Amino acid sequence: MPDHFQLLKTDTVTAARRARLRTRHGLIETPIFMPVGTQGTVKSLTPAHLQEIGAQIILGNTYHLNLRPGSELVRDLGGLHQFMGWDGPILTDSGGFQVFSLAKLRDIRDDGVAFQSHLDGQKLFLGPKEVMGIQQNLGSDIAMVIDECPPWPCERDDCAKAVARSFKWAGQCKQIATDSGFLANGHHVFAIVQGSTFDDLRREAAESLAALDFPGYAVGGVSVGEPEPEMLKQVAATTPFMPADKPRYTMGLGTPPQLLKMVALGVDMFDCVLPSRVARNGLVFTPDGPINLRNEKFRTDAKPIVESGEGAANYAARFSRAYLRHLTVSGEILACTLCTLHNLAFYLDLMASARAHIEAGDYGTWHRAWIERYEAGAAARLAG
């Protein structure tokens, strides 16, 4: 077992794992959800808020931070941790998904991706050298390799080319991290497994990247437009071929039930903009499904968002649904803060519950019952 990763327990019914990941800025207990701080901030929250709700690690974005304010400036001001006042671990995405989403503005080449900034049209280039240099400037605890994320749907030949190109870039990223001392200084680099909906290509990608012995691995190319059953199928087709003694991360998703289903498939780490994005529109999560605080029925509701269970003990819980609805429909900034605080606390509490049930040995039964309750509540609200 590598020094940085300790597998503590594996569920006997599912593939769920309880583990511990060591980084330069502290230990991470997994399974874990990572709040997204794309531009060096989790929108509407301070680092103190994040600490209060138990965030262990947050995510920043290489693409956006390199455009604004620039990775050299962040480096000169002490690195991303000091720049944003967060002393816990930080994972930085390589920007590969942003390049994927800028399909009309980019040109994929064998040495990287040439594209135009979505801000001002400036011509830019990201290859392994650039991506690793930016993340070294930021001081990332976990840096992601650059990869090519195929669209959904895609042709097999196009996907195979993307897998081959991503493997080549991953090897170059690791070599750069080795030669520069980035890995030796305790930073981690995670490889990304692509393959779209082609199970054999996902297995090929996972096994070839495993041979390069990265500190961690991610399932990439999911939640790019495919239906949920297909997304889960892709994760299930990938995790069995990822090293069991390294952390596994599924990038960019999902809903609370999706997270629990992926924990059952052996995934350790998650990130998603969903809980913070929908919070800004008044949608908040409960164990009985999400509720929209803009609904008129909450105008006189004196209850907190959640009375018991996940998300019940954070600062937002001292306010009534009626007050939070008032803030939301009035466009008050405090609504964004309190609803985001609640939603992220809900996700983090859910992962804490998952860890506890893996340790207790009943994760399989518990997660199925939890999902059934959540989905039944969500369906009842839609019907009502």
Positions annotated as catalytic residues are: 93, 271
Residues 258, 111: Cα–Cα separation, whole Å = 35
Q: Quick check: bond before 153 cis, omega within 30?
A: yes
Q: How far is CA 378 from the centre of its chain?
A: 24
Residues 195, 208: Cα–Cα separation, whole Å = 12
Summary count for the chain: helices (H), strands (E): 14, 16
HSE-up of residue 334 (Cα within 13 Å, Cβ side) = 9
* Contacts for 149 with CB less than 8 Å, ≥ 6 apart: 96, 97, 99, 100, 162, 194, 220, 221, 224
How far is the CA of 45 from the CAs of 38, 276, 326, in angstroms?
A: 13, 10, 20
**DSSP state for residue 241 in the 8-state scheme:** G
